[in-house]
Amino acid sequence: MTTAREYDAIVIGGGHNGLVNAAYLGKAGLNTLVLERRHLVGGATVTEELFPGYKYSVASYVVSLLRPEIIRDLQLPRHGLEILPLESTITPLPNGDYLGRWADHDQTRRDLYRHSPKDAEAYDDFGTLMYQLAWAVKPILGMIPPNPISPSIRDLRTMLKLGGHLRNLTETQFHALFKLMTMSSADFLDEWFESEVLKATMSASGIIGTFLGPRSPGTAYVLLHHYLGEIDGAFRAWGFAKGGNGMVAESIASAARSHSVEIRTEAAVDHVLTRNGRAVGVVLESGEEIRAKTIISGLDPKLTFLKLLEPNDLPDDFLDSIRKYRIRGSSGKVNLSLSELPDFTCLPGVGPHLRGAISVSPSVEYLERAYDDAKYGAFSRRPYLDIVIPSMIDPGMAPAGRHVMSIFVQYAPFHLKGGWTDTQREAFGDTVIDTLAEYAPNIKDVILHRQVMTPLDLQEEMGLTEGNIFHGDLSLNQLFFFRPTTAWSQYRTPVRNFYQCGSGTHPGGGVCGAPGRHAALEILKDLKR
Amino acid sequence: MNRTGAGAPTAVKGTPFHERTQALCQGKNWRRWSGFVSASSYDLTHEHEYHAIRSAAGLIDISPLYKYRICGSDAETLADRVVTRDITKLAVGQVCYTPWCDSDGKVRDDGTLHRLADSDFRLTSAEPTLLWLHENAEGLKVEIKEETEQVGALALQGPRSLNILNEITDGALAELRYFHVIQTQIEGISVHISRTGYTGDLGYEIWVDASDAVPLWDTIFRNGVKHGLAPAGLLALDIARVEAGLLLIDVDYMPAHRAVIESRKSSPFELGLGWTVSLDKRNYVGRTALREEQSRPTEWEFRGLEIDWLSLEDAYAEVDLPPQIPGMTLRESVPVYAEEEQVGYATSRSWSPTVKKYLALAHLQAKYAKIGTELKIEITVEHQRRTAIARVAKTPFFNPARKRATFDVVRTP
């Protein structure tokens, strides 16, 4: 069965990057089709009403990295995107104390001062440095990675631009950047701070989505990655999409449709059709065959090259590098419906702290021990939790007076000893709730519903290989012109007319959209559009 | 459940005098200052408070200043290592105003350093400085203690300040010379009194244990009323300090460690503080860079500007209005031109009710900074950008003899 119509472009996967890609192609006049396996678009950027009235940002749950140029180009606010601020982070401690970092500088300083007067000062110095580095590194997000092996004229120009940009850094800044690229987040933070809780809760940004501990080299870069986000020009600002993270995808999809992009859900692609080293179409799991001049995959590199194509479509060395591409799942999600708000021992009652993030990361040792469990194939007995209560910011997320809570959980290894079973999933969920109950004892009494997402669930439901939320580790050997592999970091692939646009390409994961946009710009360049 | 908002424990604080100041603050006109609330003005307008400072006395709560004590056998070494002035020459009982720099010789902050005893210093600063002091104290036998919240501070400024204080102390205050400090008692309350201030007038700053703050306030007030004492807020102070030609951090310069680009940083020479830089004392933070800078001509100077009244009048006459002058210090940076070329920028502007001139403090390229040079400053007249003539002038604009005078007997000025 073949659809008679031939498209200019088919995007495989309706995640946020696939949608961004399609929207840009559509905007340029290409007759574009998006094929999504699930019943809704968004991939890992979805809002689902799993229980009547309770909306969960099932997987990704906050926004910061979404590129401002995408918001502008696609006019996303007109298509329903509204980002509400997530202003604070509190870290409750087992002794009933807490560390709060707030929107207000003085208030943050006071809180830090209670833990360490020196850290209260160092925190500002650190912020200044990270601001400078984020400003220095930010243009890299917008660059098409040059090919360092056989550079084209354009690649040389990009490298020159990069060099020129980094030349503006002072010696101190350059040294710090190098440290960030190579050190562990905890070691890097040890150079700055003395209070355990501050180091722990900050180093947690360095482990999110990686199968590494806070003392593993390479995690400091992930720390910087989290500083690169910006909202309305403010670096490191985190926000919450009104209606849940699914609204990010919905708004992009709406923008795409406004450019005549066709989006088909429940249309799983089985494989890409090739003829003489060229992609010519796709075959759906239903057997339906759809032709297009250009095919783009928004899936991760493993699925893109090992599932969608036949091994003989690709060169051996390329296949080898994709097989070796590291994509290790390390996290899970627990989403809750609550009859009442959690009552934290450290800050009893309802307060502004419930509008921000709540980070269970009391000490570096706690995080490192959590990693130890995972290294040997168990989920953490006491995991790192990053919690938000979206209904505190957007009352539309739950029935009036009720709440939803999103808990990002690390570590949960994909390769669990004995494998993930329903029993293991529930045991994992119980561990998360038990951990939270140590800080908010009423939690068990107020849970109405619970959804537990293991890395296996993230793989099966969201199509994230091994449940890796970034489509591959954000380690230096897999970034920039190494992402996903040298020589193929410019969104093209060894198969002509076949492109990649997922988080497995530069600049990587997070609800960022840049891979989708860059890929579209490259495709349009190839098509001379 | 407690519904009052759990963020409360870390909300902004009142100073040790808050109980009194909040009762007096009629306009509820508060400003944030280093995490404390501080009155912009107590009356509904600040005019009376300004005039109290210049003609009688104003009492200003300056407790939010950061305060540090540096004690121990190496206290002098540390103090000397961090500031630009030669502290080995600072006698016990003396106070100096000084900036301090980063290792590139760029100003981090400025404040006063009090030598309370041979090995006991008090440093006041606008920015938190504890970590920085510690970093420079490596290997020294010193104890660095922050006393920002433990010590309340009041500035009693104006011609009557001496009379007010002399009547409630043992009378030794007349002999307290400019930029000196003594330890004494005010009606049984132990205090340090320094003859310092931010108004360029006769004045004192009183440093007291926070637990004695309220009784101290009451005592000064009780005695001050007959001398025309008024509580004064930051708006009045801001006019007085411009008249005195005194810099304000974050307004007239950016602390070097907060600057994200190099051009935002200033050296002491560029801030008119060359007189505070000792180049031949023992090594200290920034000395190498400052020596190097001193060997070449300064690119920037920090100067006073007097805005020409007639040219202001002309500019307003064109739209049929009399000149509109600011009632308070304006803190937006505006360009300064020589002919058509921008040669600087004014960071503070204020009408001076005392010298009856429109004044500004400005960063000027050195070749345009000679006293008397005629430049132009941007003004906005009815939504239109224009310029008015501004002449480079000496600061302080207002410098009464009483500021540094020595008094044998106390007399009513």
What percent of chain A has a predicted confidence (pLDDT) above 70? 98
Average pLDDT over residues B122-138: 97
Q: Please report residues of A whose CB lies closer than 8 A to that of B3.
A: 349-350
Q: Which of these three, A196, A231, A266, is where a domain ends? A: A231
Half-sphere exposure of B148 (CA within 13 A, CB side): 20
Give me the phi and psi of B126, to 5 degrees please.
Answer: -90, -25
Dist CA A376 CA A399 (whole Å):
41
Residues 99-128 of chain A with CB under 8 A from chain B are 100, 102, 106-107, 109-111, 117-118, 120-122, 124-125, 128
Nearest 5°: the CA angle A426, A429, A431 is 110
What pairs with residue B157 in β-bridges?
A: B58, B203
In this complex, the residue of A117, A118, A348 whose CB is nearest that of residue B1 is: A348
Q: Classify residue A435: in a domain, yes or no.
A: yes
The pLDDT, as a whole number, for residue B7 is 46
pLDDT less than 50: residues of chain A: none
Is B3 touching A (CB cutoff 8 A)? Answer: yes
What ipTM was assigned to the predicted interfaces of this complex?
A: 0.89
The pLDDT, as a whole number, for residue A140 is 84
In this structure, the answer to whether residues A344 and A451 fall within a common structural domain is yes
Residues 103-142 of chain B with CB under 8 A from chain A are 128-132, 134
Q: Classify residue A93: in a domain, yes or no.
A: no
Dist CA B252 CA B261 (whole Å):
16
Reduce the secondary structure of A398-465 to three states and give it as a string. Answer: CCCCCEEEEEEEECCCCCCCCCCCHHHHHHHHHHHHHHHHCCCCCHHHHEEEEEEECHHHHHHHHCCH
In this structure, the answer to whether residues A71 and A59 fall within a common structural domain is yes
Q: Please report residues of A whose CB lies closer than 8 A to that of B130.
A: 117-118, 121
More confident residue, B34 or A509: B34
Average pLDDT over residues B331-346: 97
A121·B8 Cβ contact <8 A: no
Question: Exposed, middle or buried: residue B399 (CB in 10 Å: 0-12, 13-18, 19+)?
Answer: middle
Dmax (CA) of chain B? 68
The pLDDT, as a whole number, for residue A509 is 85
The pLDDT, as a whole number, for residue B3 is 38
In this structure, the answer to whether residues A208 and A141 fall within a common structural domain is yes
3-state percent breakdown (helix, strand, coil) of chain B, nearest 5:
25, 35, 40
In this structure, the answer to whether residues A187 and A281 fall within a common structural domain is no
Q: Classify residue A100: in a domain, yes or no.
A: no
Residues 167-196 of chain A with CB under 8 A from chain B are 170
Q: Which of these three, A433, A462, A491, is where a domain ends? A: A462
B6·A348 Cβ contact <8 A: yes
Dist CA A18 CA A304 (whole Å):
13
Q: Please report residues of B whose CB lies closer than 8 A to that of A117.
A: 130-131, 146
The C-alpha of B37 sits at a distance from chain A's nearest C-alpha, in angstroms, of 11
Q: Classify residue A409: in a domain, yes or no.
A: yes
Dist CA B39 CA B175 (whole Å):
32
In this structure, the answer to whether residues A444 and A342 fall within a common structural domain is yes
A110·B35 Cβ contact <8 A: yes
Nearest residue in B to A352, CA atom: B7
The pLDDT, as a whole number, for residue B338 is 97
Please give the distance of CA B111 from its chain centroid, rounded to a whole number.
8
> What pLDDT band is residue B407 in, cutting at 50, 70 and 90?
confident
Q: Classify residue A489: in a domain, yes or no.
A: yes
Domain range enclosing A164: 122-231
* Distances from the Cα of A341 to the Cα of A207, A351, A466, B10, angstroms: 28, 10, 33, 22
What percent of chain B has a predicted confidence (pLDDT) above 70? 96
Of the candidates B118, B121, B94, the one whose C-alpha atom is nearest the C-alpha of residue B177 is: B94
The C-alpha of A352 sits at a distance from chain B's nearest C-alpha, in angstroms, of 6
The pLDDT, as a whole number, for residue A233 is 59
Dist CA A382 CA A412 (whole Å):
11
The answer to pTM > 0.90 is yes
In this structure, the answer to whether residues A14 and A32 fall within a common structural domain is yes
Locate A148 and state its tokens.
């360092």
The pLDDT, as a whole number, for residue B409 is 58
Q: Classify residue A88: in a domain, yes or no.
A: no
Structural domains in chain A (count)? 3
pLDDT tens sequence across B166-224 = 999 987 898 999 999 999 999 999 999 999 999 999 999 999 999 999 999 999 999 99
In this structure, the answer to whether residues A378 and A437 fall within a common structural domain is yes
To the nearest whole number, what is the mean pLDDT of chain A? 93
Q: Classify residue A458: in a domain, yes or no.
A: yes
pLDDT tens sequence across A288-316 = 999 999 999 999 999 999 999 999 999 99
CATH (domain of A256): 3.50.50.60
Q: Assign A98 to helix, strand or coil.
A: strand
Helix (H) or strand (E) run with residue B388 in it: strand B384-393
Dmax (CA) of chain A? 71
Q: Please report residues of A whose CB lies closer than 8 A to that of B126.
A: none
In this structure, the answer to whether residues A320 and A336 fall within a common structural domain is no
Dist CA A529 CA A28 (whole Å):
7
Q: Please report residues of B whose CB lies closer than 8 A to that of A343.
A: 1
3-state percent breakdown (helix, strand, coil) of chain A, nearest 5:
40, 20, 40
Please give the distance of CA B219 from its chain centroid, rounded to a whole number.
25
Nearest residue in B to A119, CA atom: B131
In this structure, the answer to whether residues A457 and A339 fall within a common structural domain is yes
Dist CA A133 CA A124 (whole Å):
14
Residues 197-236 of chain A with CB under 8 A from chain B are none
Is B296 touching A (CB cutoff 8 A)? Answer: no
Q: Classify residue A347: in a domain, yes or no.
A: yes
Dist CA B88 CA B77 (whole Å):
8
In this structure, the answer to whether residues A361 and A444 fall within a common structural domain is yes
The pLDDT, as a whole number, for residue B4 is 39
The pLDDT, as a whole number, for residue B411 is 53
Dist CA A501 CA A520 (whole Å):
8
Q: Please report residues of A whose CB lies closer than 8 A to that of B145.
A: none
The pLDDT, as a whole number, for residue A355 is 95
Q: Please report residues of B whose CB lies closer than 8 A to that of A109.
A: 35, 128
A120·B6 Cβ contact <8 A: no
Task: Work out the number of other CB atoms within 10 angstroms of the CB of residue B222.
Answer: 12
Is the distance from CB of B170 to CB of B183 less than 8 angstroms?
no
Is B8 touching A (CB cutoff 8 A)? Answer: yes
Is B260 touching A (CB cutoff 8 A)? Answer: yes
In this structure, the answer to whether residues A345 and A314 fall within a common structural domain is no
Q: Which of these three, A425, A446, A462, is where a domain ends? A: A462
In this structure, the answer to whether residues A333 and A438 fall within a common structural domain is yes
Q: Kindly give, in sequence order, each residue whose CB lies less than 8 Å from that of residue A179, ignoring residues fewer than 6 positions away.
A: A188, A191, A220
User: For chain B, which domains are there?
Assistant: 13-63+149-232 (3.30.1360.120), 66-139 (3.30.70.1400), 256-266+299-393 (2.40.30.110)
Residue with the two structure tokens 């981090």: B108
Locate A147 and state its tokens.
């090919």
Average pLDDT over residues B297-308: 96
